[in-house]
Chains A and B, each alone.
Chain A
């Protein structure tokens, strides 16, 4: 899940809480609106200005 420049992951099988995994502000990303996963190891992120 995205909020602002940050990505979060829900540990559904663990504590069932959202955990921050990255802050992409340094890459110029400030407003994450959508994501797509390639099923292996890459994400595409939509940053809305």
Chain B
């Protein structure tokens, strides 16, 4: 029994390592609207500073500055947050820690900080939200003190944060930054949490294996609407959804 347990732990560790260490590359493309139709032009490779490594979870701080998660090929679990200046091509490493950082995004207040998920390797691999200064002047602070098992998140305009909580099933919560109040929204959701121009949060609700729904929620009154019905996308990349209406 004990041996079987050890084997299971080893297998899970190997799967997690494999999932986290997959090579991923960044490309920049121009998106143009011509006569009401969208066209994509001029693809160029961005991640030549980390060839064959892990380069993922891009986020625009402004139209020319990108935050991204990076791990070298030799240390696929040693993720840190980098900043790329798309005009000067300058690459700046923003974090250099023993913990693993993922999913950076600009903080709403103060704007000179960014938020990310950190996996605390010396604290049972807790996955929490952390806030770092962009100018690397300090080691940062927790964004939400009592929320763990965070895989993905999105900061909303009304002092709430949408949190994708790891679990079986995974869960979507809206958590108030100051009070810690948690509002359960849905289970079995997709990895993409996107804020719309209206202030709504868009997310995928996997109602069943065959039917996934693209939904939006008003974070002020928690009203949920379906954007796209009968959204059968089993074979479509789960985290490649990007929404701007």
- Contact mask for chain A residues 1-27; partner B; CB cutoff 8 A; 1 contact, 0 none: 111000101101100100001101001
Please state if A48 and B24 are interface contacts (CB–CB under 8 Å).
yes
Nearest-CB distance from A21 to chain B (Å)?
Answer: 5
Q: Which of B49-69 contact A (CB under 8 A)?
A: 55-60, 62-64, 66
Q: Considering only CB atoms, which chain B residue lies closest to A1 in the complex?
A: B241
Contacting residue for A45 out of B29, B214, B241, B244, CB 8 A: B29
Please state if A1 and B240 are interface contacts (CB–CB under 8 Å).
yes
Interface size on A, residues (CB 8 A): 34
Contacting residue for A36 out of B32, B59, B236, B237, CB 8 A: B59
Given A34-B56, A35-B242, A44 and B46 touching (CB < 8 A)? Answer: yes
Name the A residues within 8 Å of B228 (CB-CB). 10, 12, 16
Q: Considering only CB atoms, which chain B residue lies closest to A2 in the complex?
A: B240
Q: Considering only CB atoms, which chain A residue lies closest to B229 in the complex?
A: A16
Name the B residues within 8 Å of A16 (CB-CB). 228
Given A7-B40, A29-B43, A36-B66, A44 and B24 touching (CB < 8 A)? Answer: no
Please state if A21 and B27 are interface contacts (CB–CB under 8 Å).
no
A48 CA / B26 CA spacing, docked (Å): 9
Name the A residues within 8 Å of B59 (CB-CB). 36
Nearest-CB distance from A32 to chain B (Å)?
Answer: 5
A38 CA / B60 CA spacing, docked (Å): 6
Name the A residues within 8 Å of B233 (CB-CB). 1
- Contact mask for chain B residues 219-245; partner A; CB cutoff 8 A; 1 contact, 0 none: 000000001100001011101111111
Nearest-CB distance from A2 to chain B (Å)?
Answer: 4
- Residue numbers of B with Cβ under 8 A of A are 22-32, 37-40, 43, 45-46, 55-60, 62-64, 66, 86, 214, 227-228, 233, 235-237, 239-245
What 10 A-B pairs have minimum CB-CB distances, sorted nearest first?
A: A22-B40, A2-B240, A27-B43, A35-B242, A36-B58, A49-B23, A44-B58, A38-B63, A48-B24, A21-B38
